[in-house]
Amino acid sequence: MQNFKPKLLYKAFNPGVKNRLIFSLTVLLLFSNSCASLQRLSEEGPGKDKFSRAYSQEFASFHPKVNSALQEYAQKNKGNSFRIARLGNDGVIIRGYFKSGQYQERFSTEIMVKPSGRGKTLLEINFTVNIPSLSTDSLEKASQEIFRIVEKGTGVSLPK
């Protein structure tokens, strides 16, 4: 009885049934994987972490204001620079260097501005840091500083 394995049953099927079985199992696995991902996204939601916020602003009018606010900040504060790396209907990526008032190091920064539903825009900040001793708390403070710059420069109040 130990020699009787599902593999033997699998060999008993004709090639057409084998292909349908493999396809069905693949679809089932992909579907269950995507459901798990969607559940994680719905639990986290946009704007729930310290590096993203959702604003009640139309994407088309908001992203130019974000860029202008960052450019203005960079002109007034040495060590900062930002440029649009990608401009599209599905999102804008602004890359540059952000020098926080607290640190001598400049953080390599990527700011993504993308539509997040009707009348909403999501702003995400990613840092690339080469300082092993730098804590996540420091990056969170730097992201909060960038959010303040954007909110002050665009005239947008804090998201709810």
Which residues is 77 bridged to in the sheet?
A: none
- Check: CB of residue 115 under 8 Å from CB of residue 57: no
Q: How confident is the model at residue 157 (pLDDT cuts 50, 70, 90)?
A: confident
71-84, pLDDT tens digit by residue?
999 999 988 999 99
Q: Report pLDDT for 137.
A: 83
Note the CATH number of domain 52-154: 3.30.310.80
| Annotated domain spans of the chain | 6-44, 52-154
Provide, rounded to the nearest whole percent, the portion of the chain with pLDDT above 70: 66
Neighbours of 75 (CB within 10 A): 10
- Angle at which helix 136-154 crosses helix 59-76, to 10 degrees, equals 110
Backbone conformation region of residue 119, classed left if phi is above 0, alpha if psi is from -120 to 50, else beta: left
What is the arrangement of strands in the sheet containing 106-115, beginning at the earlier edge strand? 52-55, 121-128, 106-115, 91-99, 81-88
| Highest mean pLDDT of the ranges 15-24, 32-41, 55-64 | 55-64
Output DSSP code: residue 134. -
Q: Report pLDDT for 158.
A: 61
- Check: CB of residue 148 under 8 Å from CB of residue 73: no
Those residues with Cβ within 8 angstroms of residue 151's Cβ, 6 or more apart along the chain or in another chain: 157, 158
